[in-house]
Structure 1
Amino acid sequence: MSARPILAETSHEAASPYRADVQRRTITYDDQIARWFVFASVAWGIVAMLAGALAALQLAFFKANVLPILSYGRLRPLHTNAAIFAFVGNMMFAGVYYSTQRLVKATLASRLLGRIHFWGWQGIIVAAALTLPLGFTQAKEYAELEWPIDLAITAVWLVFAVNFFWTLARRAEKQLYVAVWFYIATIVTVAVLHVVNALSIPVSLLKSYSVFGGAQDALVQWWYGHNAVAFFLTTPILGIMYYFLPKAAERPVYSYRLSIIHFWALVFVYIWAGPHHLLNTALPDWAQTLGMLFSLMLWAPSWGGMLNGLLTLRGAWSRVREDPVLKFFAAGVTFYGMATFEGPLLSIKSVSSLAHYTDWIVGHVHGGALGWNGFMAAGMFYWMVPRLFGTKLHSRRAAEIHFYIGTVGILLYIIAMWVSGITQGMMWRAVDAQGNLMYPSFVETLIAIRPMYWMRLFGGTLYLAGMILMGWNLYRTAKSGEAVDGEAEVVVEVRQEKEVDWKRIVFGPPVVIAAVALVLLFAIAFTNPVGTAGLLLLAGIVGFAGIFVLTLVKRSDKPTWHAILEGRALLFTVLTVIAVLIGGVAEIVPSIVLGQTDAELARKKNAPYRALELEGRDVYIKEGCYTCHSQMIRPFRFETSRYGEVSTLDDSRWDHPFQWGSKRTGPDLARLGGKYPNVWHWQHMIDPRSVSPGSNMPSYAHLEFTRVDFADAASKLRAMRSVGVPYTPDEIAAAPADAANQAAEIVKDLEAQGIAANPTSELVAITAYLQRIGKNPPPPPPPAGPMPVTMSDEKAH
């Protein structure tokens, strides 16, 4: 196997800023680490799809929620984490380790660090598989794992980064190929995203509160959440595409110039797009507008990458019909194009008003995850495993079957969610001639879309069957051969570096053009909508005109600015970090600064949760209720008619983390407090269908028998105070007594309805929280002594 991959437009290397003497050297690659990650990815992928199939069954058939630890609310985050970090994560590491060594003509820098990385990552996955079903979660999308596991992720990611950059430092091939650019962007950006979003204050070994709250947490969370999709599920897979697709097709990448534009535009623009998950919410309009505009701009670089991938296959289409590897790659890149068309479309405010909180978003996400990530993984595995074991693929026929049943499964899944989502959105907003809601009961929408839930389950099961078939095929392939490490005699250029004018790099024309365009984009914050459109257009003209001029003035006898940059990994990494950080800083820092308010004034607008209510909120989070319910009433008449007045920033100011939600399988809860009596909530949690016929909500009868330790209340209030919630020292000291007092009031009310309840049960605590949501009662005076006292304002609850 040739150690040098088929590169795109390698003419830029002829103008390299180095003098070279040629030597020949034999390199043996460390492919054991790639083999481990491949089979870990396949195994965890099957687990992830099994969890997804069970979750889909539970939505269609509520009786499938058999055990509390495997109820939908606890299973859903397990499914997403397994799919993203276990399946795609292991696949990404396999591809990065395999391709990087060959691209830089150097074996892996440290075998030990590679092994620590592998076993450390599997340990993190196992920890997630244990803690999430047990209810230990931070309730942050794609970042549910608690703080000790977050620290472990940071440590293991650092090991990965050190090994990767150490390998780059030892490289014999000085020019960095495009795949390596995307790997660099992935490593540095994921590190920044994870560290910022994971900032929290621990309460105990497996409990913490996010340092961000309310709208600030919403912005930080979706800055992370959207860019986890961008820099964990997209950029590394694009790097894999740029290496493995040309190798499989035995053709060069279509356009080197397009790959440059694709990379820099993507890493700069993507980071700004997170707020499009929060359109029409209480988030400030400026942040929503930025999120929408940059999401629309993503169309260009995303489709540039897709076209670069598909056009690489030109001249090889006859082989695509025969080769299952190329089938998977071609379909995967096509699904990438579909997902990156649909994403900006959903980022338009009017489209988002229909699609947000519906199953349409679920279909969109799975189109990318199953189609783009899943098919690229399959293509890479079918190409790699025979080479890793020195043999041929066991069954091309089985791989073909996998492709077709996987494709049918994805399409059934996406179509079911499109139909379901649009049906939900239309039914929620439907009104009669008098302006009244035509479907006032939320359950009516669930009944209407239930057939689509069964269709989704069928499609997902087909995809799962394909994954199992692939696992069998790869296992038989490995058994038929023996593990071999790639070995190649490569031409190594022993280079004597010429003097390079650093000013030409740091202040080169591309940097100047980017700076001017950036200034124009920042000016958008200080103008009106017409000015915004004009500045956006002007920034685009500057960017494209600059690229055109640079192309015209390019000289064949001198290296281009980017060719020089490609030979300097450190500088390339620094510029990548700057490009990524600009968007994050521009969006998050103003939200934190502008969000600072006087605590006492804010307290008057919205009192913090009482001790028992905070305990109940923790139970709500533990059971995963946030996966099905939102707490954000948008400024639409059909929402205010159904749920109450529009949500404000003050409503969620003390929520750490925020609970605006991302999906409504159940109704919004933002104004739930006081809407129903305590007995209704009790019956609803034990047997949802007794008060809401047709509901698919699981029973939470087990909460009647699980206990809250009031002694922990003070430490929780103390932790909340450390992140800015204005609890007084007296309130913290009196927290256990206040919790007992409020629980006694709820128990007394339930007893009047003939229900005997234990005041320390989690069901009492969650009732207190549900009765508090959306209300702003004055805080009670602290008890005078250690014993609970009667508080006169309890009737307000």
Structure 2
Amino acid sequence: MTTASVTGDDAAMISPAGERVRITYDDETPRLFVMASVLWGIVGMLVGAIVALQLAWWPANVHAMLAFGRLRPLHTNAVIFAFVGNMIFAGIYHSTQRLVRARMASNALSKIHFWGWQAIIVAAAITLPLGITQAKEYAELEWPIDIAIAVVWVIFAVNFFWTLARRNEKHLYVAIWFYIATIITVAILHVVNAISIPVFAFKSYSVYGGAQDALVQWWYGHNAVAFFLTTPVLGIMYYYLPKAAGRAVYSYRLSIIHFWALIFVYIWAGPHHLLNTALPDWAQTLGMVFSLMLWAPSWGGMLNGLLTLRGGWGQLRTDPVLKFFAAGVTFYGMATFEGPLLSIKSVSSLAHYTDWIIGHVHAGALGWNGFMAAGMFYWMIPKLYGRELWSKRLADAHFWLGTFGILLYVVAMWVSGVTQGLMWRATNPDGSLMYPTFVETVIAIKPMYWMRFIGGSLYLVGMIMMGYNLLRTVLAGKPVVTTIEVVVAPPAIEPTWTEIVFSRPVMVTTGVLGIGGLALATNMFVSPLLMIVAFAVGIIGSVAFQAAKRNGAPAWHRILEGRALIMTSLATIAVLAGGVAEIVPALVVKPVEIASKADVHPYRPLELEGRDVYIREGCYTCHSQMIRPLHFEALRYGEPSTLAESALDHPFQWGSKRTGPDLAREGGKYPNLWHYRHMIDPRAITAGSNMPPYAHLETAKVDLSRTHEKMNGLKSVGVPYTERDMQGAVDDAHAQGQAIAKDLATEGVTIQPDAELVAVIAYLQRLGKKPEPPKPSSPVATVGAEK
């Protein structure tokens, strides 16, 4: 019998059944991704420590490009897509080859994926500090980079599924299921959310506006957490934790339930980020209900991971790899308990816009993702370089320092968040606000900001320790070449795809989901009856499955695990169900129709330019523009925001965090001089403020030569600008700028009408107000007034 050696792109060649084939794994790609992950992780967390310092001590905003508003998106992108992204790619490339007993299909695609992803990260690191942003959380990168992300992701997907197609191990282990769901869902999320109209290089406007944009963005934002930070890391958990512990996964059945329940339920939960806002009630309720349902599958996965360690507690005390895995899975359980809790409307009314949410996110990102990454790296690198870890004592020190750091961080944010929420709603016996000025809360929580900075810095030191430990391990070893010998099995006689798709489990599940979905759309009398019917169908179907098993019928899911195409198709359907049900109804009503009925007009040219400066400087990272229908918010800010008011906003500016007050009713609240002084020196207006100064806006000039292009781009996404509006844009901007500059001159301030600061003042003075009607003697018509 002949023996073939398969390496490189020759791996794509199919050998005859029964032939013995030697496979040499591509471990160079996982090595590169590990190194990139550690490097970018240190960079991203260093930026995180800087922005934490800036909140505690405002002079740390040393330059406009390095101010909080520009660095905060850089921090989130670096940690999510650079650190965790490279980590999951390392795990997927390394584990997939061993699970399917085949080399990655294409060396070229693997290299393009690696270097393409690093180029995207570098592009983000350049553009975000420059203020080039779409202002959509976790999706700030502008349209050319969005296209690059899509291309590189498709290259990754082709390489992955091509490898599955030529695998030598037909059974797909549970980790592969999670990888499949990740690749498919992230592609869908990114493409749908990133649809925008380019105006010019590195400037675009989202096709969605107002509530539509908010719903699509948080459908993406929440599920970026779900399918980029969770499902691939769960796949890594299912492979590396049993490997490190030396025992099988606790429950195969539980892994099946965990996978299917998680990917179906998760996709519906995005609207819980928009509770108590102007989003329609049906969408808020849907998000809350499905978020509460997430408790079950999430904790099922956590228990499956922790119980895999049963009987190995002695090993856990001595092995740093297992310590990191055990702590990481525990943080996953904590974060997935806290998430549904925060999705209850009454809890959200206290926690939303506060630092509690920041603590929750970091418990997941650093506790779950960061510790799982450390465990995987400490296990993988010694095997890839053929020697023991350089120092287990240093790894142990990293574990305890990192654990203390993240706990200090999370507890500080819990205390800070609850303090903020309670102070914002506190009232006196006469019904007035107990703390009427927003800065009172900022001063009260400043010690917690210092605790956060210390905790985050300790975690960063732990990451540096890990990097040094892994580097010494790499330098002391040599890259290991792993070659295995497999026998190419003959193709098995398996059920056709129609027999699987129309099998009893699929039909029963479809029936249950269909009846359950119908229950959500009916009235309060019919809905309970339909839910009972759905429950009964599920119970009867489960009994039928058990009977079929006792009669010797093959396990349906076991058959499915050998059919990659059908597994992928069913996972795609499970994910699309929630996305279609949430997004499509929201897209039926056009924002421009809502705005027209409420007599809402688009921004005037100078206001539009001021809004773009506001977005460029990252003001949206600290200020919301959404007054919730809560009594204490109405007392503090004014009437609750309506759906129509932001209908023409591309992108929406509802915000997700209040480090400063809400601005939805800012227009006309203060004179122009107040805004001028506040932007030049915030503490001259509000003692104790931690807002960075924006004095550079006084000398920077607005480029009115491109305002016409911007208005035309917005017109193409539905904003009702007329040709007359666009032709008179420059004149109108000059007129409005001169009016503001003239008003400031009466107060002793000399400023040019085309200064960026003037544009920002124009924008802030517009918020919550309709544009002033044109004066009869004025040759310049007010933008949007023409019908």
Counterpart check, 1:98 vs 2:105: no
Contact 1:718-1:732 at 8 Å conserved across structures? yes
Contact 1:504-1:561 at 8 Å conserved across structures? no
Structure-2 change in CA distance of 1:37 and 1:792 (3 Å) = closer
In structure 2, what is the equivalent of residue 441 of structure 1? 437
In structure 1, what is the equivalent of residue 336 of structure 2? 340
| Aligned counterpart for 2:181 among listed residues 160, 181, 185 | 185
Distance 1:382 1:37 in 2: 14
AA aligned opposite 2:585? P
Contact 1:437-1:641 at 8 Å conserved across structures? yes
AA aligned opposite 1:394? W
Which ranges of structure 2 fall in alignment gaps of 5 or more residues? 1-15
Structure-2 change in CA distance of 1:640 and 1:469 (3 Å) = same
| Aligned counterpart for 2:72 among listed residues 73, 76, 84 | 76
Deviates more, 1:589-598 or 1:173-182: 589-598
State the shift of 1:789 in Å.
4.3
Contact 2:773-2:782 at 8 Å conserved across structures? no
Distance 1:706 1:556 in 2: 79
Counterpart check, 1:588 vs 2:578: no
Q: Cα deviation per residue 1:155-174 (whole Å; 9 max; x = unaligned)?
A: 10011001101111110111
Q: Cα deviation per residue 1:599-635 (whole Å; 9 max; x = unaligned)?
A: 7834x62111001000000000000000000000001
Structure-2 change in CA distance of 1:639 and 1:245 (3 Å) = same
Distance 1:538 1:37 in 2: 50
Distance 1:538 1:311 in 2: 35
In structure 1, what is the equivalent of residue 458 of structure 2? 462
AA aligned opposite 1:521? G
Distance 2:774 2:88 in 1: 53
| Aligned counterpart for 1:773 among listed residues 767, 775, 783 | 767
AA aligned opposite 1:476? R
AA aligned opposite 2:126? L
Contact 2:367-2:406 at 8 Å conserved across structures? yes
Counterpart check, 1:174 vs 2:158: no
AA aligned opposite 2:515? L
Contact 2:58-2:692 at 8 Å conserved across structures? yes
In structure 1, what is the equivalent of residue 656 of structure 2? 662
What secondary structure does 1:495 align onto? coil
Distance 2:372 2:665 in 1: 44
In structure 2, what is the equivalent of residue 610 of structure 1? 604
AA aligned opposite 1:31? D
Counterpart check, 1:356 vs 2:352: yes
Distance 2:190 2:636 in 1: 37
Q: Cα deviation per residue 1:739-793 (whole Å; 9 max; x = unaligned)?
A: 111111111111111101111111010000000011112564899xxxx946799
Q: Cα deviation per residue 1:519-551 (whole Å; 9 max; x = unaligned)?
A: 123223423457656655664564466445424
| Aligned counterpart for 1:750 among listed residues 722, 736, 744 | 744
Contact 1:38-1:91 at 8 Å conserved across structures? yes
In structure 1, what is the equivalent of residue 718 of structure 2? 724
In structure 2, what is the equivalent of residue 519 of structure 1? 514
What secondary structure does 1:321 align onto? helix
What secondary structure does 1:201 align onto? strand
In structure 2, what is the equivalent of residue 427 of structure 1? 423
In structure 2, what is the equivalent of residue 10 of structure 1? none
* 1:295-374 correspondence to structure 2 within 5 Å: 295-374=291-370
Distance 1:329 1:292 in 2: 30
AA aligned opposite 1:592? L
In structure 1, what is the equivalent of residue 13 of structure 2? none
Contact 2:356-2:416 at 8 Å conserved across structures? yes
In structure 1, what is the equivalent of residue 248 of structure 2? 252
Structure-2 change in CA distance of 1:548 and 1:464 (3 Å) = farther
Structure-2 change in CA distance of 1:380 and 1:545 (3 Å) = farther
Distance 1:273 1:654 in 2: 25
In structure 1, what is the equivalent of residue 143 of structure 2? 147
* 1:479-490 correspondence to structure 2 within 5 Å: 479-490=475-486
Distance 1:346 1:284 in 2: 19
In structure 2, what is the equivalent of residue 621 of structure 1? 615
| Aligned counterpart for 1:739 among listed residues 718, 733, 737 | 733
* 1:655-694 correspondence to structure 2 within 5 Å: 655-694=649-688
Distance 1:782 1:268 in 2: 59
Contact 1:741-1:789 at 8 Å conserved across structures? no
Q: Cα deviation per residue 1:112-155 (whole Å; 9 max; x = unaligned)?
A: 11011000000000000000000000000000000000000011
Structure-2 change in CA distance of 1:665 and 1:87 (3 Å) = same
In structure 1, what is the equivalent of residue 401 of structure 2? 405
Contact 1:730-1:782 at 8 Å conserved across structures? no
Contact 2:73-2:138 at 8 Å conserved across structures? yes
In structure 1, what is the equivalent of residue 31 of structure 2? 35
Contact 2:731-2:780 at 8 Å conserved across structures? no
Structure-2 change in CA distance of 1:73 and 1:391 (3 Å) = same
In structure 2, what is the equivalent of residue 4 of structure 1? none
In structure 2, what is the equivalent of residue 9 of structure 1? none
* Matched residue count: 769
What secondary structure does 1:605 align onto? coil
What secondary structure does 2:701 align onto? coil
State the shift of 1:24 in Å.
4.2
Identity %: 67
State the shift of 1:443 in Å.
0.3
Contact 1:607-1:778 at 8 Å conserved across structures? no
Q: Cα deviation per residue 1:410-469 (whole Å; 9 max; x = unaligned)?
A: 100010000000000000000011111000000000111100000011110110000000
State the shift of 1:485 in Å.
2.5
The alignment's TM-score, normalised by the length of structure 1, stands at 0.94
Distance 2:91 2:325 in 1: 14
Contact 2:728-2:780 at 8 Å conserved across structures? no
* 1:499-578 correspondence to structure 2 within 5 Å: 499-528=494-523, 535=530, 539=534, 542-543=537-538, 546-547=541-542, 549-555=544-550, 557-578=552-573
Contact 1:712-1:736 at 8 Å conserved across structures? no
Distance 1:781 1:106 in 2: 75
What secondary structure does 2:645 align onto? helix
Which ranges of structure 1 fall in alignment gaps of 5 or more residues? 1-19
AA aligned opposite 2:406? I
| Aligned counterpart for 2:702 among listed residues 708, 724, 743 | 708
Distance 1:607 1:545 in 2: 57
Contact 1:138-1:657 at 8 Å conserved across structures? yes
AA aligned opposite 2:575? V
Distance 2:680 2:531 in 1: 54
Structure-2 change in CA distance of 1:530 and 1:304 (3 Å) = farther
Contact 1:44-1:86 at 8 Å conserved across structures? yes
Contact 2:592-2:719 at 8 Å conserved across structures? no
What secondary structure does 2:754 align onto? coil
Distance 1:480 1:127 in 2: 34
Structure-2 change in CA distance of 1:477 and 1:711 (3 Å) = same
RMSD: 1.9
Structure-2 change in CA distance of 1:44 and 1:716 (3 Å) = same
* 1:471-482 correspondence to structure 2 within 5 Å: 471-482=467-478
| Aligned counterpart for 1:650 among listed residues 644, 651, 658 | 644
Contact 2:21-2:488 at 8 Å conserved across structures? no
Contact 2:412-2:449 at 8 Å conserved across structures? yes
Structure-2 change in CA distance of 1:668 and 1:199 (3 Å) = same
What secondary structure does 1:217 align onto? helix
Distance 2:163 2:254 in 1: 27
Distance 1:345 1:274 in 2: 14
Structure-2 change in CA distance of 1:384 and 1:157 (3 Å) = same
Structure-2 change in CA distance of 1:237 and 1:793 (3 Å) = closer
Structure-2 change in CA distance of 1:556 and 1:478 (3 Å) = farther
